[in-house]
Amino acid sequence: MAKQVNKKIKLQIPAGKATPAPPVGTVLGPAGINLQEFCTKYNDATKDRIGDILPVEISIYDDRSFDFVIKTPPTAFLIKKVAKIKKGSTKGRNEVVGTLSQADLKEIAEIKLPDLNCYGVEEAMKIVAGTAANMGVTVEDK
């Protein structure tokens, strides 16, 4: 008989730096799973991507066991990293805080493609360009 999923929890945790302290402990503690075991497994799975913030979807079962799926970093995080800016614009697309080349846009789109609701890199590039524009980051024309 298959295990019954009791709860699904979504978190964004820095890669390789999960600890039982807040915010991880305060969210997962009431769910009743072994926090140290989760932190160890998560840190081992993400040790090659230290410095990135990774969304993780945790499925908690009836017997207090768990599985987790690590997603790609948020688009805004990738844009800030590639454009080398600390944060996006406070006025949206009305204030330019950085620029991306078409190559940078394609690189981000290829990273995000598995988690986006589209079929090809061209469509993913349009989605990433929209996020960049709303952050005040312009994309250079071809």
From 70, 85, 120, give the residue that closes a domain. 70
DSSP run (H or E) holding 56? strand 53-61
- State which residues form the domain around 102: 75-139
Q: Is the same domain home to 83 and 65? A: no
Report how many domains make up the chain: 2
Neighbours of 114 (CB within 10 A): 9
Of the candidates 70, 96, 121, which is a domain's last residue? 70
End residue of a domain, out of 70, 93, 125: 70
Which CATH number belongs to the domain containing residue 105 in this structure?
1.10.10.250
What percent of the chain stands above pLDDT 70?
A: 98
Check residue 87 and report its DSSP letter: S
> What distance in Å separates the CA atoms of residue 21 and residue 77, rounded to the nearest whole number?
23
pLDDT tens, residue by residue, 50-108: 888 889 999 988 888 889 999 988 988 888 888 888 888 788 778 888 888 889 899 99
pTM of the model: 0.79
Q: 26 and 55 share a domain?
A: yes
Amino acid identity, residue 139?
Answer: V
